[in-house]
Every structure is written in structure tokens, then in C-alpha cells.
């Protein structure tokens, strides 16, 4: 009888652990997908694909110019940067895990104009990740 209860509690612990880990694993997988999509968009100089992740407004800083722009304005500014600067290599150098519904991804890009560090802050909103800050330095 005691052996039956031990097996029962072991199964309950396994199920509880799985339920605790599932949201973390799903969020990590989601963050990886976003990180890969952004990496591809940066490598392709595709401002539209980056802008797909912008919230309604975004803090955008490119080199020494910065401001708080609408999604459309930020896409136009980023398009101008990509038009003048052709990316040859992109590497993800850092990513944080989600805390307080936000996470960060840092990329290093090499272009015909030199190397830049790209800092992206994403916020979880309604199940989607939205960029609310993008800095290219």
C-alpha cells in the first residue's frame, strides 16, 4: 500500500514540475523566435520586418539622433539608415530572460560604414513581443 502512495506522489511531483516549467519553456522559445526574426531582418537590411515588432510608438536612437516616434516614422528612419548602410554580418551577443514582461537582445552588426551595436528592448503585450526601444550605436 505504501509503495502505491509513493508512486502516486512521484507522478504528482512530475506533473507539478512540468506545469511550472512549461510557461518558462514557451517564453524562452518565443524569445528565440523573435531574436531569430530580428537577426534575419537586420541581416537583410529590412526595416519593414523590424518594424513589424514595433509598438505604436518606439524610442529610436541611430548614431547620435534619437527620439520617440510613431511606428511609421520609426520605420522610415530605420529604412534611411539601411539604405545608406549595407549590413554584411550580424551576430547576437546577448539576450536577457523576461523579467517584468520585458527582455533585451543585443546584436553586433558589421556594415560598409563600420560596426554597430544594436540594442533592442521588447515588452510583452497581449501575448506578443513589441519593440519599445531600439538603439544603433
| Domain at 45, CATH number | 3.10.450.50
**Residues 118/134, Cβ–Cβ less than 8 Å:** yes
Tell me what pLDDT residue 81 has. 96
Tell me what pLDDT residue 28 has. 44
Backbone φ/ψ region at 35: left (φ over 0), alpha (ψ -120 to 50), beta: alpha
Domain that holds residue 75: 2-136
Count of structural domains, the chain: 1
First to last CA, the chain: 67
Backbone φ/ψ region at 112: left (φ over 0), alpha (ψ -120 to 50), beta: alpha
71/106 Cα distance (integer angstroms): 21
Q: From first to last of its 137 residues, what are the pLDDT tens digits of the chain?
A: 555 556 666 677 666 655 555 454 444 444 458 889 999 999 999 999 999 999 999 999 999 899 999 999 999 999 999 999 999 999 999 888 767 788 999 999 999 999 999 999 999 877 788 999 999 99
Amino acid at each position: 500500500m505504501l509503495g502505491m502512495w509513493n508512486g502516486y506522489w512521484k507522478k504528482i511531483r512530475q506533473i507539478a514540475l512540468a506545469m511550472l516549467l512549461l510557461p518558462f519553456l514557451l517564453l524562452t522559445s518565443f524569445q528565440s523566435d523573435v531574436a531569430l526574426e530580428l537577426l534575419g531582418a537586420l541581416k537583410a537590411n529590412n526595416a519593414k520586418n523590424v518594424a513589424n515588432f514595433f509598438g505604436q510608438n518606439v524610442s529610436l536612437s541611430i548614431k547620435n539622433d534619437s527620439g520617440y516616434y510613431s511606428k511609421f516614422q520609426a520605420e522610415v528612419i530605420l529604412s534611411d539608415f539601411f539604405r545608406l548602410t549595407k549590413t554584411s554580418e550580424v551576430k547576437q551577443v546577448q539576450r536577457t530572460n523576461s523579467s517584468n514582461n520585458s527582455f533585451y537582445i543585443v546584436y553586433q552588426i558589421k556594415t560598409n560604414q563600420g560596426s554597430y551595436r544594436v540594442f533592442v528592448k521588447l515588452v510583452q503585450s497581449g501575448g506578443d513581443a513589441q519593440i519599445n526601444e531600439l538603439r544603433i550605436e
